[in-house]
Amino acid sequence: MSAEASKRHQWQWENATAGAAAGFATVAVMHPLDVVRTRFQVNDGRVSHLPSYKNTAHAVFTIARSEGLRGLYAGFLPGVLGSTISWGLYFFFYDKAKQRYARNREGKLSPGLHLASAAEAGGLVSLCTNPVWLVKTRLQLQTPLHQTRPYSGIYDAFKTILREEGFRAFYKGIVPSLFLNSVDYAVLGATSKLAAILLTYPFQVMRARLQQRPSGDGVPRYMDTWHVVKETARFEGIRGYYRGITANLLKNAPASSITFIVYENVLKLLKPTTRND
């Protein structure tokens, strides 16, 4: 391996490690708001196993009172796993894409190619991590009112889903997820984070609704992405696509800062180690 190739390999490893650490830190701090957001997203007024929450604060206190810390951190393990893998893979795929685009351009990339690299990386991350996000969503939606046998944990969830619904079930919500991640990662840092959230949030709602566990008879609440779009518009209007947006804004404002602060600091810690070897 040439010195240049070795240096590039080290840089990729540093990016992936720093990204994974950033993802872990963000989830550890912000997970309770993620639980609240997910429960609001799927509550279309016709779901019987979800409690009714007045607002974000009421949801946090209600979950804490009725389900304890375990409820506020429902789905934490797949959340940590998914976020850690996502950020690690994102920075890895993003760096790879930039290298590929830069080969015939003397190392210089236009803003458009930077965005294309980010969107490509986001799409690949979705394909790799959708099963983990599906399990996280289902664990977050389990409440004392749930009528079917609850999953006992992440392993039981994967095993039960595979047995009851087959492998295809792990890719429920993949269509809105591909749009969500590709667009969200592409605009991240390129424009206002608020604008990015408003643009991509309906895709989050669609994904969460598609990833719900089927009822006792095995029939999913929503059959596909278009079904979610139609039913949400029909029964809830535009507001339906923005359920849980308050919890999402409260979560994302500090989350972005935590992610990039941890990323930059871990990267600084890793650089001297790898450069001086």
Question: From the centroid of its chain, how far is CA 12?
Answer: 22
Residue whose entry in the numeric block shows the structure tokens 């797949």: 78
Query: What are the phi and psi torsion angles at 44 (to 5°)?
Result: -90, 10
CB-based contact 108:16 (threshold 8 Å): no
Domain with 72, as residue range(s), is: 3-275
Quick one: which of 64, 42, 33 has its CA closest to 146? 42
pTM: 0.82
> Structurally, how many domains does the chain consist of?
1
Q: CATH number of the domain that 162 lies in?
A: 1.50.40.10
The per-residue pLDDT for 69 is 92
Confidence at 45, pLDDT banded by 50, 70, 90: confident
Distance CA 143, CA 129 (A): 24
Tens digits of residue pLDDT in 195-247: 777 888 999 999 999 999 987 777 888 999 999 999 999 999 999 999 999 99
Residue 184 CA neighbour count, 13 Å, CB half: 23
Residue 90 vs residue 224, higher pLDDT? 224
Residue 227 vs residue 104, higher pLDDT? 227
Mean of per-residue pLDDT scores for the chain: 84
Q: DSSP secondary structure string, 192-207?
A: -HHHHHHHHHHHHHHH
Contacts of 26 (CB under 8 A, 6+ apart): 83, 255, 258, 259, 262
Residue 130 vs residue 122, higher pLDDT? 130
Percent of the chain with pLDDT over 70: 87
Tens digits of residue pLDDT in 148-168: 789 999 999 999 999 999 999
Most distant CA pair in the chain, distance = 62
